[in-house]
Amino acid sequence: MTRTILFTAALATAGGLFALGAQASDDDDRARLADVPPRAQWMSVATLAAQLEAQGYAIHEIDTERDAYEVDMTDANGMRVEAYLHPVTGAVLSRSEDD
């Protein structure tokens, strides 16, 4: 069973919190990604992974999709999570959890 958890979050580039809120719409995603700088200015995959791991996530895979990072991970409770994160700020664009 899959359930979608709605939220937005700010993940600071220097080790911020993975705060929960309401899921962004496609229009919001496009607006946030409209000013995405070149990949050379993106947060490194290693930095992103380190921040998520420090918050208790076990990272399975980090890919680039739709000008964002797509991260497959497991939270501290064993819940499988897929999230799309802004490539510069690390802000969560969308997230879903699988039971």
- Cα→Cα distances 65→9, 15, 53, 54, 61, Å: 19, 23, 21, 23, 12
Q: β-strand 68-74 against 80-85: which pairing, if any?
A: antiparallel
* Structural domain total, the chain: 1
pLDDT in tens, 40-68: 889 999 999 999 999 899 999 999 987 89
Dump pLDDT digits (tens) for 17-47.
Answer: 343 333 445 666 566 556 678 888 899 999 9
Residue 50 CA to residue 38 CA, distance in Å, equals 22
The predicted structure's pLDDT at residue 16? 36
Q: Which domain holds residue 15?
A: 2-98
Can you give the CATH number for the domain in which 45 is found? 3.30.505
* Token duo for residue 47: 């930095």
pLDDT for 73-88, tens place per residue? 999 999 999 999 989 8
